[in-house]
Amino acid sequence: MAINTQDSTCLPLQEKIVHNNKTARAIELIILSFLVSLLVYRLFTFKDQNQYIPWLLALLCESWFTFTWILSMCIKWNQCSMKTYPDRLLKRVNEFEFLPVDIFVTTADPILEPCILTMNTVLSLLAVDYPANKLALYLSDDSCSPLIYYSLVETTKFAKLWVPFCKKYNIQVRAPFRYFTSNSTLLEDDSLEFQHEWKKIKNEYDDLYKKIEVAAQSPFTCDDRNSDFAVFCDVHRSDHQAIIKVISENTDLPHVIYISREKNLKHHHHYKAGAMNALARVSAIMTSAPLMLNVDCDMYANNPQVFLHAMCIVFGYKNDQDCGFIQFPQAFYDGLKDDPFGNQLANYYYLTNGIAAIQGPFYSGTNCIHRRKVIYGLSPNDKINSGNIRNEDSQKVFGKSFELRESAALILSGSIAKIENRTTRPSSLIEPAIHVASCSYEYGTDWGKKVGWLYGSTTEDTLTGVSIHARGWKSIMCSPDPLAFLGCVPSTYPSSLTQQKRWAIGLLEILFTDKNPLLLTLKGNLWFRHALAYYWICLWGARSIPEICYASLPAYCIITGSHFLPNANEWAFIIPVSIFAIYNVYVLWEATRRGVSLRTWWNLQRMGRVTTMTAWLFGFLSVMLKLMGLSKTVFEVTQKEHKSNYGDGVGDKDDKNAGKFTYDKSPVIMPGVVILLVNMTALVNGVLRLSKVHYSEIWIKMLELGLGEMFCSVWVFLCFWEFLKGFFRKGKYGIPSTTISKSGCLALFFVHLCRRFVQPS
């Protein structure tokens, strides 16, 4: 490393900041001790119960809650974050030493994922502050759409104006749709020249926008079979040849390359993981950068210095050899106010900082820079020398392509300089690239099994990440200010449910593969505490069962006149009350420390319950069906919305309705509706019984009904309040009547079952 003596101060390029966590630990321990006392109390009073079913069920559920509480305590025990200093980097490290990066953007559907969003992702990445000759951008299009290709060509033309503009005026937000949302950016600089250029660029962007829009509306025709678009004639998105086109190379811009991997109905394409592997192979042949950044099409680079921050870690981290990947946080723009669907991940802040203090953050599928050699299956201690890789071995791992194996050998042996000195232009490598993008290429190789993004889970990110950690790599969370990337979060309730269900499925699936974290601790190098952290997340789907049981317990008890909580006049009543009170105050305190509003806290709290009992339950059931061989799990792409400032976006035009729950015919919410109905029945039942007694005896009657049970029932009712509103609303804002009637039948059945258990008293 060339060190400029003048500036060779000893200031570090990056710093690990350890956060004090004593208060939180103490509170968590207190909650834990109450949880344990509750379990002990239940065991000792078991024989005193005249109805043991609710007592036993409560014991089982609470044991589970205690278990997940211990897992989350393990994760959150230590808290740390990372600070990086790009200004020091620029003074100390010469630009030509920066590592090349291949950028991967994936898109899968021009309708669910509006093209203009993807193009903004591309523009924001082309415009980062980093030497352009060290970057190559690959766009993977799983829909094989001429619209996306056309848009990328037009976008690249626009980028030739946009990128110099951003760099000249040091624009902070380099995704035009965000930059141009307000005219106030025009006032940032009052020089005439700027004002003039601003208007010119804005007009150009408007043109690009309109071109894409017009193209999206008119179906693609094959009039000119000699044109650049001829390859898209008569192709079907799930049955077509590989298409690779180099749109721009060797200019002031990074290379821009379009890829649509081959697909046909005989071969499974493995969704995003398959797309990532095709990207990894094609880029291996064309540029083979030692680092690869992967970004979903709904994210954009919000901090133009993102690569410099990454270089701070590459050059500044003492054990840089141990760091397998650098993860930037997932954050969102234009999220709905107060997070009504509870999907903006605000409640994961302390967990993220906790995991960062163990073996490092989980790979979350986007905003992540991997070392290429790590993706190629290397472990931290492997020393490979390009000479000693045997031909047959490397063919078994990487497949037949000679060019791929050659570049992999250089990467594995760390000969980065040799790669950088290659002068072949990407456009002259299309043929070998098409070969590795074919759908049969992976047969008989390690792709998807040991090398690349792993197959077997709809959350390919966590699966791939755990296998990297299991090889002994650490990972680093890099959270610059402003945030490195911003993305869009599902803004309608059904799309949020789709996403949550897919996550629950994919995460749970991991436990049934050979990448089960505990196995990896025993056989591999995954740290035990890190395995526990993975368990915490992988078990999301499984949480639905105890939560559903626990939410039906109060209803069951009120209807049958039994108890699952200590009576209000017993000393032990204090235990559940304390757990409830301390826990909620604690979570509220955590939220306010993060500057989250009271309303958001409540939304997160209730949506936590609702999501677990609906989307996660369906996730759990899907995995069970898959294990029994009755169904397959699929990756359902979530709908992205583009709220344009041109007034014609897909977004909800009526802003006051944004955040209002909408429903479709999907049965996912049914369990929630059932829980709501049975608790309502129980409450009505309880209130009716109270109304029959003289007011002087109300208190006694209350005790008899169970104060705790009544309170829990009210709490569940409040959590599902939104669904109740859905009963009375019309159109898409109302729960479909078929869902209501089916749930009603199930609720009646439950009440009927309860009645059969009623003991004559």
Ligand X SMILES: O=c1ccn([C@@H]2O[C@H](COP(=O)(O)OP(=O)(O)O[C@H]3O[C@H](CO)[C@@H](O)[C@H](O)[C@H]3O)[C@@H](O)[C@H]2O)c(=O)[nH]1
| Cβ pair 353, 39 in contact under 8 A | no
Cα 113 to Cα 109: distance, rounded to the nearest angstrom: 6
- The binder of 113, among Mn ion, ligand X, none, by C-beta within 5 to 8 A per type, is ligand X
- Is 142 one of the catalytic residues? yes
Residue 394 vs 491, nearer CB to ligand X: 491
Choose one: 278-286, 500-508, 517-525, 695-703; the region binding ligand X (CB under 6 A): 500-508
The answer on whether 249 is annotated among ligand-binding residues is: no
- Closest-by-Cβ residue to Mn ion is 298
The answer on whether 272 is annotated among ligand-binding residues is: yes
Choose one: 345-353, 421-429, 455-463, 534-542; the region binding ligand X (CB under 6 A): 455-463
Taking CB under 6 A as the criterion, the residue among 173, 297, 433, 575 binding ligand X is 297
- Is 461 one of the catalytic residues? yes
Taking CB under 6 A as the criterion, the residue among 28, 102, 154, 298 binding ligand X is 298
Applying CB under 6 A, does 300 fall inside the site for ligand X?
Answer: no
Residue 465 vs 706, nearer CB to ligand X: 465
Instruction: Report the chain's terminal Cα–Cα distance, integer Å.
Output: 84
Residues 196-209 as b or e (16 or more Cβ within 10 Å = b): ebbeebbebbeebb
x-marked contacts with ligand X along 121-160 as a string, rule CB under 6 A? -------------------x-x------------------
Residue 352 vs 445, nearer CB to Mn ion: 352
The answer on whether 296 is annotated among ligand-binding residues is: yes
Q: Where are the alpha helices (DSSP H) in 428-492?
A: 430-436, 460-470
Applying CB under 6 A, does 106 fall inside the site for ligand X?
Answer: yes
Query: DSSP letters along 3-71, please?
Result: --GGG-----SEEEEEEP-HHHHHHHHHHHHHHHHHHHHHHHTGGG-S-HHHHHHHHHHHHHHHHHHHH
- The binder of 461, among Mn ion, ligand X, none, by C-beta within 5 to 8 A per type, is ligand X
Applying CB under 6 A, does 365 fall inside the site for ligand X?
Answer: yes
Sheet-wide strand order for 101-107: 243-248, 255-260, 135-141, 101-107, 291-296, 368-371, 323-327, 474-477
Active-site residue identified among 141, 142, 298, 339: 142
Residue 339 phi/psi, 5-degree rounding, is 50, 60
| Positive or negative torsion for Cα 289, 292, 298, 299 | negative
Which tokens go with 75? 């994760």
Cα 662 to Cα 730: distance, rounded to the nearest angstrom: 10
Taking CB under 6 A as the criterion, the residue among 296, 442, 509, 547 binding ligand X is 296
Strands 323-327 and 299-301: unpaired
- The binder of 637, among Mn ion, ligand X, none, by C-beta within 5 to 8 A per type, is ligand X
- The binder of 458, among ligand X, Mn ion, none, by C-beta within 5 to 8 A per type, is ligand X
Residue 156 vs 638, nearer CB to Mn ion: 638
Residue 239 phi/psi, 5-degree rounding, is -155, 90
Neighbouring C-alpha atoms within 13 Å toward the C-beta of 112: 15
Chain contacts with Mn ion (rule: CB under 5 A) = 296, 298
| Of residues 129, 17, 9, the one with CA closest to residue 83 | 17
Which tokens go with 499? 């996403």
Applying CB under 6 A, does 107 fall inside the site for ligand X?
Answer: yes
Applying CB under 6 A, does 459 fall inside the site for ligand X?
Answer: yes
Applying CB under 6 A, does 461 fall inside the site for ligand X?
Answer: yes
- The continuous run of DSSP H or E covering 410 comes out as helix 402-412
The least CB distance from residue 139 to ligand X, in Å, is 10
Residues that bind ligand X (rule: CB under 6 A) add up to a total of 25
Taking CB under 6 A as the criterion, the residue among 178, 272, 309, 372 binding ligand X is 272
The set of residues, in sequence order, having a beta carbon less than 8 Å from that of 140 and lying 6+ positions away, is: 104, 105, 106, 107, 259, 260, 261, 275, 276, 278, 279
Applying CB under 6 A, does 464 fall inside the site for ligand X?
Answer: no
Cα 78 to Cα 19: distance, rounded to the nearest angstrom: 8
Annotated binding residues for UDP-alpha-D-glucose, written as ranges, equal 113, 142
Footprint on this chain of ligand X (rule: CB under 6 A): 106-108, 113, 140, 142, 271-272, 275, 296-298, 365-366, 458-461, 499, 502-503, 506, 635, 637-638
Please identify every residue annotated as catalytic: 142, 461
